[in-house]
Amino acid sequence: MIGPVVRGRVLFAVPTRAPHYALTVDDGPDPATTPGLLDALRRHGAHATFFVLGERVRRHPDLAARIVAEGHELGNHTWRDEPTWSLAPDAFRERLRAAQEELTVHGSVRWFRPGSGWPTPDHLAIARAEGLRCALGSAVAIAGAGAGTAGSGRWLAAVVHRGAVVVLHEGPQRARVPATVDDLLARTARRGLTAVTLTELAGTG
């Protein structure tokens, strides 16, 4: 198992005795997938952290509002879908702040996730100065452009454990993701595990 943090700044998982794991979804909100995801979460009594893009929150504020109203939380995935590591510090700060302004209309935002992988030390320092903690994951869907395929719920459930952080992706080319989440939640529930937000998981350690 990957350690819970790297130099105390990046969260991968949370050591906990609680029967919980965090479910996280990147790249929304999107009318093609977000409603189906929220319906699946409601059916199972589960919660998630949606790492959303600022430009998509501006385009779909009703979906961002619904995410929060149904007990989930928003995380900052910067302004648009692009590799964070390629951004100069000033450009990254600008995009992070722009996204934060859109997101905090709907509630508090505690978490940041870089686009397309690993952040640089400068990015981590900027995010921390903005009051955001970086979270990656310990179980990541790769197939189906990160949304999962017909078998993804099964193999994800097999590697999910207490304190894990699951990473999935949504959007118009990822129509499979609500079904993947539905299957994953059903399988983990049979093992006595419940999906919660990152903030709830971090508070159970």
Catalytic positions: 26, 169
Residue type, 88: A
Q: Collapsing DSSP states into helix, strand and coil, what is residue 134?
A: strand
Quickly count: other Cβ atoms within 10 Å of residue 108's Cβ: 11
- Running DSSP on this structure, what letter comes out for residue 73? E
Residue type, 161: H
Report the C-alpha gap between 161 and 156 in whole angstroms: 10
Residue type, 17: R
Quickly count: other Cβ atoms within 10 Å of residue 113's Cβ: 25
Number of H helices, E strands in the chain: 8, 10
Q: Is the dihedral of CA 56, 58, 59, 63 positive or negative?
A: positive
